[in-house]
Structures are given as C-alpha cells and as structure tokens.
Amino acid sequence: MIAVIKGDIVSSRKAGDPEKWLLPLKKLFSEWGETPVKWEFVWGDSFQLEIDYPEDALTKAFIIKALVKKIGKIDVRMTIGLGNKTYSGERISESNGEAFVFAGEKFEELEKEKSYLLIKSAWNDFDKEINLYLKLASVFMDNWTTASAELVELVLREPSLNQSEIGKRLGIKQNSVSGRWKRAHMDELLAVIRVYRYKLEKLQI
C-alpha cells in the first residue's frame, strides 16, 4: 500500500510571484523523492506526490499546509488516497492504482464538503472518523498565521526538538514558543496524527 497526495494552491495569484511558494514546495518535495517519478506539478499550481509509507502521509500533508500558510495570503487544498499501486509510469501522472484513483475522486468532493484536506481509502469507517478529525482541525489550521505555520512546520519536520531548541531556531524566547504552540493548536494536531497512525497500522495487520 502507498499514499498519494493530490493538491492545488488556493488563491495562488494573491501571492504575486509564484516562485514564492513554488520553489519552497519543490525543495520540500525533492527531500521526499525524485521528480517526475514521485512528484510533479501540473497546470502551474496543481501537484501530485507519491508516498511509500502511508503512515507518514498525514504528517507530510500537514507540513505542506504549514509551508504554504507560512508564505501568507494563500492556502492549499489536498486529498490523500490510500491504496495499492498497479502501474508505475515514468511520471507520477502516468502511474495508476487505488491510491491514485481515491485521491482523484476525493479531490472532486472537496468543494462540496467545504474542506481543504480529506482522505479516502477502501476502509469507509476509517475515512469517516479521520475526515471528521480533519474537518475539526481545519477550524484552526485554515487560520494559522505565518508565525503559527512556521512553528508547525519546524515541529513536524524535526519532532525531536524541545521548546528551548525550537526557540533558538525561530529566534524567539521559550515562553513565546509556548504561546505559539497553543495558538497553533499543536497538541491537537499531534493527537490527530497519532490516531491516524494507530488506526492505519491496525488496519494493515
């Protein structure tokens, strides 16, 4: 089983120069795999990303969200498809399988469900529960400030850092880290990740 993240940038024109978000995203994706086999941008502001370990997919989606929100004025819509891969193309856009189909199908439902991040797999009960958590989390995620998004990205990419180390990285005092942590709802976000990982691992046993 793999995961596929399908997404596009919301209000990309508001960011002005597209390089402001495109270059950071390409740099991030390059850390996770090679283009165009593992990821690819199409039509300027749409992308697909293949993830070998599906238990990491939600964390990576949150990192993408934080990186984009850090830039300001723009946002990102994404779906995560979980399933098999039946064909590997030279480009990700040529590959196929359940994960690709599920990501595409759910992406078409984002507007109707009024959400910027949803998941689809072969397990309906799993999807319903995780998507409920994601809709609740979107209440604060969609309103992350640049400062909150900056902290979220750092914490998710380097989870071993303590608050003192986070403060040094961000150039702020430790008590300021605590404030940002609360405003970003970091504890709630990490709880969603833990539940996602736990339930997905149980389903794969």
Would you call the peptide bond into 36 cis, given omega within 30 degrees of 0 as the criterion?
Answer: yes
pLDDT for the residue numbered 205: 73
pLDDT for the residue numbered 14: 72
Pairing, β 117-120 against β 75-83: parallel
Query: Is the separation of the CB atoms in 54 and 2 below 8 Å?
Result: yes
Phi first, then psi, for residue 89 (nearest 5°) are -95, 175
pLDDT for the residue numbered 20: 86
pLDDT for the residue numbered 13: 75
Q: How far apart are CA 139 and CA 135, in angstroms?
A: 7
pLDDT per residue as tens digits for the range 29-76: 999 999 999 999 998 789 999 999 999 999 999 999 999 999 878 999
pLDDT for the residue numbered 17: 79
Residues with pLDDT less than 50, the chain: none
Q: How far apart are CA 116 and CA 79, in angstroms?
A: 8
